[in-house]
Amino acid sequence: MENDLTEEDLATLKEYYKIFRDSSTGNITLESLQTIMACMGPIKTDEEVASVFAQYDTTQRGSLTYDELVVCMKQELHQPPPRVSLEEEFKKLDKNKDGFITAADLRQVIINLGLNIPDDEIEGMIAEVAGTDGLVDTDKFTKLFTLN
């Protein structure tokens, strides 16, 4: 079942599963899937993630097992790229055309995507890609929103 994902994809997915699974069920909730998809891509709205979640929650128990998560992400990671490239989005944010955006700009992008991600998780995502100066370049921006 896992052969369509690279070893790196699977390692990342296993780590996210360990981090974001619900403590009472041991599975992934809708909110956790929103976070995982925001980290691994593709970028989706809350409504789109809810639809994806419903599609893969085959037992309708309100959570995804690890195997269901793997099947879900295998399908979702192989979706066609968004209509607007991440590089184009970055250029729109790079107002002074210096090749960088601020962490505050990045925070606003995440919020504008309609993703229901808690502030502390947004801060963690930003901390991973922003330099010590609080700036994000196009490569780091793209990496944040894609798996590769």
Report the pLDDT averaged over residues 97-125.
80
pLDDT of residue 148: 44
Q: How confident is the model at residue 115 (pLDDT cuts 50, 70, 90)?
A: low
Asked if the model's pLDDT at residue 7 lies above 80, the reply is yes
Asked if the model's pLDDT at residue 9 lies above 60, the reply is yes
* 3 state DSSP class of 32: helix
pLDDT of residue 27: 94
Between 144 and 97, the more confident residue is 97
Q: How confident is the model at residue 119 (pLDDT cuts 50, 70, 90)?
A: confident
Q: Is 62 left (phi over 0), alpha (psi -120 to 50) or beta?
A: left
* 3 state DSSP class of 129: helix
Element (DSSP H or E) covering residue 102: strand 100-102
Task: List alpha helices for 21-148, DSSP H.
Answer: 30-40, 46-56, 66-77, 86-93, 103-112, 119-129, 138-145
Nearest alpha-carbon partner for 79 in 37, 17, 29: 37
Report the pLDDT averaged over residues 107-134.
78
CB-CB contact of 9 with 16 (8 Å): no
Nearest alpha-carbon partner for 103 in 76, 127, 72: 127
Cα–Cα dist 31/87, whole Å: 27
pLDDT of residue 1: 42
Question: How open is the CA angle 28-65-40, to the nearest 5 degrees?
Answer: 55
Report the pLDDT averaged over residues 27-31.
93
Average pLDDT, the chain: 82
pLDDT over 90 percentage in the chain = 25
Report the pLDDT averaged over residues 39-48.
78
